Amino acid sequence: MAVDISPYSIPVIKKGKPIKLVPVDSTKQKEEAKQTWQVEYYFFNEASGKKERIRVSNGLNRIKNPVEKLNQFEILRQSYKELLENGYNLLYRLLISS
């Protein structure tokens, strides 16, 4: 049985609600791009003893072109993945600034 000892989860892109109806003059990708997207990951909070969900978008939801939006969110996701692998702790930074 493997035990999760990592203080964080791998960041993933969340694309909002599933698209159920696509207007005639649009595509599913265009409708997805209108949704609120986020890069989401979990980070262990030592104070509470639980993993907390962290969601970031860095203003990228203003992009309406589906290909460009996906590319920019992939860059953001990869950046957070590298930061976390190198010891970045958002919760510690929030404690210092408050």
Q: In this predicted model, what pLDDT tens digit does every residue of 23-46 receive, in sequence order?
A: 999 999 999 999 999 999 999 888
Side-chain half-sphere exposure of 85, counting CA atoms within 13 A = 8
User: What is residue 46's predicted lDDT score, i.e. its pLDDT?
Assistant: 82
Query: Is the CA virtual torsion 76, 79, 85, 87 positive or negative?
Result: negative
Q: Is the pLDDT of residue 18 over 70?
A: yes
- Of 93 and 16, the one with more pLDDT: 16
User: What is residue 4's predicted lDDT score, i.e. its pLDDT?
Assistant: 59
Instruction: Measure the CA angle with vertex 78, ends 54 and 46; round to 5°.
Output: 35
Tokens of 94: 């929030």
**Per-residue confidence at 94, pLDDT binned at 50, 70, 90?**
low
What are the phi and psi torsion angles at 53 (to 5°)? -80, 130
The Cα 9–Cα 80 span in angstroms is: 11
Domain ranges (residues) in the chain: 12-17+27-97
